[in-house]
């Protein structure tokens, strides 16, 4: 875990996680879980979620949280697609799975996009009892739309108040980088977050800084904008991918000690956008040049959604 003295967080409240994915019904083997839209036999339908689905039993699947523009388009879809491909390959999904997802995405009705954001869940589908993968898996997709929050800088104009997380992320290179459905570390980290903080800095079990609980982390250290490598743990977010493609940040190891001497720190994800850290543990950031650069990055990101 991170070895920096903790401090009480100041004012500000975190926004709630948008809409539960599913809501349980009767507790019997024939019961189902009602969802918004499911991709079935080449079309989106209102349907029930099968109780023998491997996503429910083993977290055997992926998900993407997607922000849309006013036209119902996903400006960062190419990066979501990259991450889906990484996850499908890592989890040994059948060849052609990404094509199915692409087909489903293109066919998603405008009415299902209009709320402005959504979660796309990809499951290996139903299967027999046991961990072994089904011999002929049937890809199952779920889409749940919701109204996204405003950009984080609009809700927290002074920036985020963050703390150092006490939940260490496991190092598992086979699962690093993509958004698989096993998120218990993040659940525990989020539960431990002080009430008036908006984020946590999480380290892995070796003590290296990895990311936030819900966001990627970027640090300005000695004039360089750096983000930690995510080869052993963490999620390679779509905003982080965009920043790297635009050569606006570089990848470098970040230690907890570097956070104490960093000029600026910001978090980024698809719903919050790019948000400066005002206070991290005992450290208050006042670097105006860093803040101006963070504002510039957010403006560039926001312009993609116009």
Q: What is the mean pLDDT of residues 61-67?
A: 98
Give the pTM: 0.87
* pLDDT of amino acid 33: 45
**What is the pLDDT averaged over residues 58-77?**
98
Q: Among 9-18, 206-215, 237-246, 289-298, whose mean pLDDT is lowest? A: 9-18
Q: Which of 264, 257, 254, 266 is nearest to 298 (CA)?
A: 266
**For residue 249, what are the contacts with CB-CB under 8 A and spacing of at least 6?**
218, 225, 226, 227, 240, 243
Q: Quote the pLDDT of residue 47.
A: 64
| Euclidean distance between CA atoms 178 and 182, whole angstroms | 11
Statement: residue 300 has pLDDT above 90: yes
pLDDT at 35 over 90: no
d(CA 77, CA 104) in angstroms, rounded, equals 13
Confidence of residue 172 (pLDDT cuts 50, 70, 90): very high
For domain 33-146, give the CATH number: 3.30.470.10
Could you tell me what percent of the chain has a pLDDT over 70? 88
User: Across all residues in the chain, what is the average pLDDT?
Assistant: 89
Give the start-to-end residue ranges of the domains of the chain. Answer: 33-146, 152-303
Residues recognised as catalytic: 65, 179, 211
pLDDT in tens, 112-144: 999 999 999 999 999 988 999 999 999 999 999
**pLDDT digit string (tens) for 68-99?**
999 999 999 999 999 999 999 999 999 999 99
Range list of H helices, 48-181: 54-58, 77-90, 97-107, 110-113, 152-155
pLDDT band with cut points at 50, 70 and 90 for residue 289: confident
Query: Do 104 and 37 form a contact (C-beta atoms < 8 A)?
Result: no
d(CA 230, CA 174): 11
Q: How would residue 6 be classed by pLDDT, with cut points 50, 70 and 90?
A: very low
| Helices 77-90 and 238-245, axial angle in degrees (round to 10) | 110
What's domain 152-303's architecture? Alpha-Beta Barrel (3.20)
pLDDT of residue 41: 79
Instruction: Count Cα neighbours of 151 within 13 Å in the Cβ-side half-sphere.
Output: 20
């Amino acid at each position: 875990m991170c070895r920096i003295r903790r401090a009480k967080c100041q004012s500000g409240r975190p926004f709630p996680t948008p809409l539960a994915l599913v809501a349980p019904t009767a507790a019997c083997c024939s019961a189902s879980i009602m969802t918004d839209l499911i991709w079935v036999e080449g079309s989106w339908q209102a349907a029930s979620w099968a109780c023998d689905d491997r996503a429910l039993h083993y977290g055997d699947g992926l998900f993407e949280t997607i922000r849309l523009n006013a036209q119902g388009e996903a400006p960062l879809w190419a990066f979501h697609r990259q991450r889906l491909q990484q996850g499908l390959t890592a989890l040994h999904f059948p060849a052609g799975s990404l094509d199915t997802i692409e087909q489903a995405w293109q066919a998603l009705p405008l009415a299902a996009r209009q709320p402005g954001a959504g979660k796309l869940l990809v499951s290996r589908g139903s299967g027999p009892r046991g961990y072994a993968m089904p011999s002929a898996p049937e890809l199952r997709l779920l889409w749940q739309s919701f109204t996204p929050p405003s950009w984080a800088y609009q809700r927290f104009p002074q920036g985020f108040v963050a703390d150092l997380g006490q939940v260490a992320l496991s190092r598992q290179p086979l699962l690093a980088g993509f958004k698989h459905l096993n998120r218990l570390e993040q659940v525990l980290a989020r539960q431990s977050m002080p009430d008036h903080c908006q984020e946590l800095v999480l380290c892995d079990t070796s003590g290296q800084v990895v990311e936030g609980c819900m966001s990627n982390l970027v640090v300005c250290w000695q004039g360089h904008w750096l983000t930690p490598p995510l080869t052993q743990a963490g999620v390679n977010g779509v905003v982080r991918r965009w920043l790297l493609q635009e050569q606006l940040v570089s990848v470098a190891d970040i230690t907890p000690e570097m956070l104490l001497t960093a000029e600026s720190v910001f978090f980024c994800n698809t719903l919050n956008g790019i948000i400066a850290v005002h206070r991290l543990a005992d450290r208050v950031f006042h670097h105006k040049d860093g803040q101006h650069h963070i504002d510039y990055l957010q403006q560039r990101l926001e312009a993609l959604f116009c």
